[in-house]
């Protein structure tokens, strides 16, 4: 019923930037949560960033400490696309990045809060 498709991944040098997008299709509601998670080889999936949309208005944003100040989560002007702007990328940011959506607006830092997941997009940061 809800489909999420990530794009924008690729390979960059340390210090570079990438912009990930997540296109959502299906049923839309006025209040929901969306987030980004990532998973590196041999590691568990970890929270990156999330945003709560309340009444079609951008609500609170949440960031993992490891990306705070470098990554920005937002919606683009189409309103149905989630964006993750990643600046000052580090090799430790290398992972498959997943977009997720939730019918709830909280809590959004836990993967279990999300019902829908994209297929992921690879981000590789070289030293």
In percent, how much of the chain has pLDDT > 70? 97
User: 23: Cβ–Cβ under 8 A, 6 or more apart, which residues?
Assistant: 4, 5, 7, 80, 81
Helix (H) or strand (E) holding 57: strand 57-63
- pLDDT, position 79: 66
Contact call for residues 56 and 30 (beta carbons, < 8 A) = yes
CA nearest to 36, candidates 103, 126, 96:
96
Is pLDDT at 91 greater than 80 in this prediction? yes
Encoding tokens for residue 1? 């019923």
- pLDDT, position 93: 98
d(CA 26, CA 41): 31
Encoding tokens for residue 10? 């690729």
């Amino acid at each position: 019923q809800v489909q999420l498709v990530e794009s924008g991944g690729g390979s960059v040098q340390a210090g570079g930037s990438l912009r990930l997008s997540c296109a959502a299709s299906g049923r839309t509601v006025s209040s929901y949560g969306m987030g980004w998670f990532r998973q590196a080889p041999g590691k568990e999936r970890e929270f990156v960033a999330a945003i709560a949309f309340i009444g079609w208005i951008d609500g609170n944003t949440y960031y993992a400490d490891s990306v705070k100040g470098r990554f920005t989560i937002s919606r683009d002007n189409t309103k149905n696309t989630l964006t993750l702007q990643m600046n000052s990328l580090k090799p430790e940011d290398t992972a498959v990045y997943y977009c997720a959506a939730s019918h709830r607006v909280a809590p959004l830092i836990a993967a279990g809060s999300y019902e829908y997941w994209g297929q992921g997009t690879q981000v590789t940061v070289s030293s």
